[in-house]
Amino acid sequence: MFDKQTYISRRKALAEKMKSEGGIIVFLGNVDAPAQYSNNPYKWRQDSTWLYFFGIDEPRYAAVLDIDSGTETIYADDADIDDVIWNGPTPSVAEYAATTGISRTASYRDLEMAVGMAQCSGRKVHTIPPTRYYNKIRLSQLSIWEPSVPLVKAIISMRLVKTPEEIAAIDAACDLGREMHVRARKGIRPGRIEQEIVGEMESVALSKGWGVSFSTILTQHGEVFHCHDHSAAIESGRLLVIDAGVESNCHYASDFTRTYPTGGKFTPRQKDIYDIVCDCNNAAFEMIRPGISYREVHLAISRLMLERLSCLGLVRGNVDDMLSQGVAGLFMPHGLGHNMGLDVHDMEDYGEDLVGYDDDQKRSPLLGLGSLRMARRLVPGNVITDEPGIYFIPALIAKWKEEGKCSEFINFSALESYRDFGGIRLEDDVLVTEDGARRLGSRRLPIESREVELAMEADLAGN
């Protein structure tokens, strides 16, 4: 939790932005989410928007900000003796409220009355879209049926630009994320079960942070983006994609991807594709600066990728035509990157287009570009991922071939021999600075193909 002045200033800035709207803003913190049964919840995780404006990391909290009068009220209940026995003594609601600079408190159930009174007197009631199913139920109990677009836009405008204390928190998360990736890399040996490596690496996240910022992707089927099956044994000669991040104890995320040759050395064919992805990652980073839109960067990287795939004979023809027809989407059906902060895809539940697109930008229907989560013109303080990838997805290739889609550009017969190749993705986290960009974390994970092989050689030697 930051200093209480941080939260006071954020709420003040938000109220200022919402002044012309008027009314009240209702914030719902999370409650525990049942895993096996109601009283056996998943690890406690507070709502990110709540963390941003209040910082109180406890379940069953809510708040109302009255835009017109400026009053702020926390709704929560003090622990009773049973809570003390089972969960230990905790600060009172008033004490927690004081840590975020609020003096008015009321019972959690009083929220109904506060919202009801505002509704009865015809005032606007603003909320963000609920993330958790419990909060969906809670909002319907409060008769709040629609999120407030002005509120969502106001919060996006704030959270998209990270403050120095947030950047420090993300740097720390990235350092821990790097440590987790190094631990994973050291565990790669043919014959081991993927799950064993996942458990080892996640212990870094759990020992020093909240845990992983999303379910770890560790797979020899890199062509499957969100592969969470870790039952396979590591086979020699394959590529292992590790896309994983930590969430720090103060709940900021990291998100890195590296792709390793399972035996420590790339085959020439693997190296050819790997180097394209690596060059795309570096080229994107070089382009990142205030003023450029991330859509432009995505397109430039798609162009570079197609040019290089053309040299390998996998595509052919005019690159401009290929770009406009969406050929790049066959190889990289996802976007170049997303915003990152308290959420690994920051604010995703606010609506991807509201978060990632300027008012004058429209989302493309093309595969790949259409999945771009962050297209905006960059401003200093943006924190984004740079994660190009090349994949050979048998089902997708078969579909395009069957449909004759872009067949003038794609060398389907050459692609045949890539059927078992898998996929490669390389991802760094990047801060947009006043005059360019900086990779987050104090050291970059090895990424150049030669550098990766040397690191794996050193791992094997036990260094």
In angstroms, what is the minimal distance from the CB of 323 to its own copies?
Answer: 20
CA distance 67 to 39: 37
Q: Which is nearer to its own copies, 5 or 87 (CB)?
A: 87
Q: Say how far apart CA 437 and CA 439 lie, in whole Å.
A: 7
Nearest CA to 258 out of 418, 393, 456, 436 is that of 456
Nearer to its own copies, 44 or 358 (CB): 44
Q: Could you list the residues that contact its own copies (CB under 8 A)?
A: 33-45, 48, 81, 84-89, 131-134, 136-137, 195-200, 202-208, 213-215, 221, 224-229, 231, 249, 333, 342-345, 347-349, 393, 395-396, 399
Closer to its own copies at the Cβ: 72 or 194? Answer: 194
Q: Which is nearer to its own copies, 199 or 380 (CB)?
A: 199
* Count of helices and strands (H, E) across the chain: 17, 15
CB closer to its own copies out of 214 and 274: 214
CB of 287 to its own copies, least distance (A): 27
Nearest distance from C-beta of residue 421 to its own copies, angstroms: 15
For the CA atoms of the chain, what is the radius of gyration? Answer: 24
CB of 331 to its own copies, least distance (A): 12
Nearer to its own copies, 40 or 413 (CB): 40
Helix (H, G, I), strand (E, B) or coil at 397: helix
In terms of C-beta density within 10 A (0-12 exposed, 13-18 middle, 19 or more buried), how is residue 283 classed? Answer: middle
Nearer to its own copies, 22 or 404 (CB): 404
Cα-Cα-Cα-Cα dihedral sign, residues 120, 125, 129, 135:
negative
211 in Cβ contact with 247 (< 8 Å): yes
Report the nearest approach of its own copies to the CB of residue 30 (Å).
9
**In angstroms, how far apart are the furthest CA atoms of the chain?**
74
- Least separation in angstroms between residue 222's CB and its own copies is 11
Strand order in the sheet with 72-75: 104-106, 72-75, 62-66, 24-28, 125-126
Name residue 426's amino acid.
L
For the CB of residue 195, give the shortest distance to its own copies in the complex, in Å. Answer: 6
Identify residue 161 by its one-letter amino acid code. Answer: V
Residue 193 DSSP code: B
